[in-house]
């Protein structure tokens, strides 16, 4: 045995080489992001790395751009993926569209709307905040009045408010924006690929998302699309975009057929996103939205059979995130602990004002499956019983099964 031979078991131990932490656990992710990866997406992450100027990769970028246009339901060429998480899309959209002193209307009905106000203020824009209580969507009439009063040329809203499980209807807001000649910015991080969002038909000017939610790719990319009017506003700025890295005109040129170098693309993430988008193409957008609705309905029926209530009214519920009120007398975190340690299933707690008062359950992408819904409901029933809360045994699964049966 040579002195270079590692100690027996050192390299093939479950932990791998000495010092390595070992394999990450296999978990069922029913978080409001990230969601589980399909095996094909996982495999893509292990494909050979090429350089970011390799002809293979440049061709892949063009393919991904085309796939993203289908996903956003847009024909506009300025459609690509930023090399950072969903939040970078929000930063980039507002930093590029707004200059100091510009008026902007921001719709706030939860945590991510509040973040948009924060970013607009950091840019030095004058933000008019239109609010609605957590759990309710914005009133388009409030947006219309705010646009009229402020003469803002940009309005920003969240489509799927992850903190409250509310899906914001966009038709009337888009109409109000158009009437005032304002650009509409939409945060679709939690909804794109799970809930229909036809950007061109609605008249959305900038829409951004994240790779790890309903798309079920790893976190690290922010798909984004810009209308010609949005691009024109950026090109017509008085001052240059104050961030080099998030100057969207530079990203657009990098992703266009010019491929003018801007950054070293996270090549493996783009492979994975490509596979995730292929899976979406194969499933079909409408079938995918229907799948999200089905599992959301089944999970909701089960939750209600457990005696639980969702925060938003039925008409405003987001299929991809269920916001469930923690009943009186039940401790929020211990329920999640039971799911995590005994069922290897992760859900999330509440944000901001609803910390400790909500469970948030992701019905996203590859995680949106019947077996996951069944395990979730079973796990919740067990966890609730531990706290002296006694739903009728099996009632949740029965209610979910009735939804699946009705779906034929």
Nearer to ligand PLP, 322 or 400 (CB): 322
Query: Is 187 or 401 the residue whose CB approaches ligand PLP more closely?
Result: 187
* Closest distance of CB 285 from ligand PLP, Å: 20
CB nearer to ligand PLP: pick between 265 and 318: 318
- Cα distances (Å, whole numbers) of residue 262 to 54, 161, 247, 252: 15, 32, 10, 10
Report the nearest approach of ligand PLP to the CB of residue 85 (Å): 3
Query: What string of DSSP letters covers 107-168?
Result: EESSHHHHHHHHHHHHHT-EEEEEE--TTSPPPHHHHHHHHHHH--SEEEEESEETTTTEEP
Rounded to a whole number of angstroms, the minimum distance from the CB of residue 401 to ligand PLP is 30
Residue matched to tokens 């990450």: 24
Neighbour count for residue 119 (Cβ, 10 Å): 21
| Cβ distance to ligand PLP smaller for residue 103 or 189 | 189
Q: Rank residues 173 and 377 by Cβ distance to ligand PLP and give the closer one.
A: 173
3-state secondary structure of 239: coil
| Smallest separation (angstroms) from ligand PLP to the CB of 395 | 31
Which uninterrupted H or E stretch holds 249? helix 248-255
- Beta carbon nearer to ligand PLP, 85 or 300: 85
Shortest Å, Cβ 316 to ligand PLP: 15
Contacts of 371 (CB under 8 A, 6+ apart): none
Structure tokens of 157? 């809203």
* Residue 272 C-beta: closest distance to ligand PLP, Å: 15
Residue among 84 and 234 whose Cβ is closer to ligand PLP: 84
How many CA atoms lie within 13 Å of 266's alpha carbon, on the beta-carbon side? 18
CB nearer to ligand PLP: pick between 143 and 301? 143
The Cβ of residue 181 has, within 10 Å, a number of other Cβ atoms equal to 10
- CB of residue 321 to ligand PLP, shortest distance in Å: 8
The minimum distance between CB 215 and ligand PLP, in angstroms, equals 11
Return residues touching ligand PLP (CB under 6 A).
33, 85-87, 90, 112, 158, 160, 162, 187, 189-190, 210, 219
Closest among 110, 134, 108 to 120, alpha carbons compared = 108
Q: Which CB, 219 or 327, lies closer to ligand PLP?
A: 219
CB of 87 to ligand PLP, least distance (A): 3
Shortest approach of ligand PLP to residue 62 CB, angstroms?
Answer: 25
Whether the CB-CB separation of 346 and 29 falls below 8 Å is answered with yes
Distance CA 257, CA 259 (A): 5
- Smaller CB distance to ligand PLP: residue 206 or 397? 206
Q: How far is CA 35 from the centre of its chain?
A: 10
CA angle, 361 as apex, 197 and 23 as ends, to 5°? 105
How many angstroms separate the Cα of 279 from the Cα of each of 39, 275, 282, 337? 11, 6, 5, 32
CB 219 within 8 A of CB 92: no
């Amino acid at each position: 045995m040579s002195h270079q031979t590692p100690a027996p078991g050192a390299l093939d131990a479950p932990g791998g080489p000495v010092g390595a932490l070992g394999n990450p656990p296999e978990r069922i992710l029913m978080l409001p992001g990230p969601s589980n990866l399909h095996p094909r997406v996982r495999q893509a992450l292990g494909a050979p790395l090429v350089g970011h100027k390799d002809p293979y990769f440049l061709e892949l970028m063009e393919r991904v751009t085309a796939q993203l246009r289908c996903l956003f339901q847009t024909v506009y060429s300025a459609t690509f993926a930023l090399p950072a998480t969903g939040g970078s899309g929000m930063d980039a959209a507002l930093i590029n569209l707004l200059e100091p002193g510009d008026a902007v209307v921001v719709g706030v009905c939860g945590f991510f709307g509040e973040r948009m106000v924060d970013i607009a203020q950091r840019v030095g824009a004058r933000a008019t905040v239109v609010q609605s209580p957590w759990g309710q969507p914005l009133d388009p009439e409030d947006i219309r009045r705010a646009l009229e009063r402020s003469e803002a040329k940009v309005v920003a809203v969240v489509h799927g408010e992850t903190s409250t499980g509310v899906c914001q209807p966009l038709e009337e807001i888009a109409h109000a924006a158009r009437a005032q000649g304002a650009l509409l910015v939409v945060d679709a991080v939690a909804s794109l690929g799970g809930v229909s969002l036809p950007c061109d038909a609605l008249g959305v000017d900038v829409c951004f998302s994240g790779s790890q939610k309903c798309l079920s790719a790893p976190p690290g990319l922010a798909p984004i699309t810009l209308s010609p009017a949005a691009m024109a506003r950026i090109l017509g700025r008085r001052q240059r975009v104050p961030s080099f890295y998030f100057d969207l005109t530079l990203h657009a040129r990098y992703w266009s057929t010019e491929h003018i170098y801007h950054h070293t693309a996270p090549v493996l993430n783009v492979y994975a996103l490509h596979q995730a988008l292929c899976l979406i193409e194969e499933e079909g957008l409408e079938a995918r939205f229907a799948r999200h609705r089905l599992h959301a309905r089944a999970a909701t029926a089960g939750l209600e059979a457990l005696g639980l209530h969702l925060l938003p009214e039925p008409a405003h519920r987001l299929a991809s995130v269920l916001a469930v009120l923690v009943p009186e007398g039940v401790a929020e975190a211990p329920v999640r602990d039971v799911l995590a340690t005994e069922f290897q299933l992760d859900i999330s707690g509440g944000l901001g004002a609803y910390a400790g008062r909500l469970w948030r359950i992701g019905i996203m992408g590859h995680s949106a499956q019947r077996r996951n819904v069944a395990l979730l409901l079973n796990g919740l029933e067990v966890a609730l019983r531990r706290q002296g809360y006694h739903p009728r045994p099996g009632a949740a699964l029965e209610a979910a099964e009735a939804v699946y049966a009705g779906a034929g």
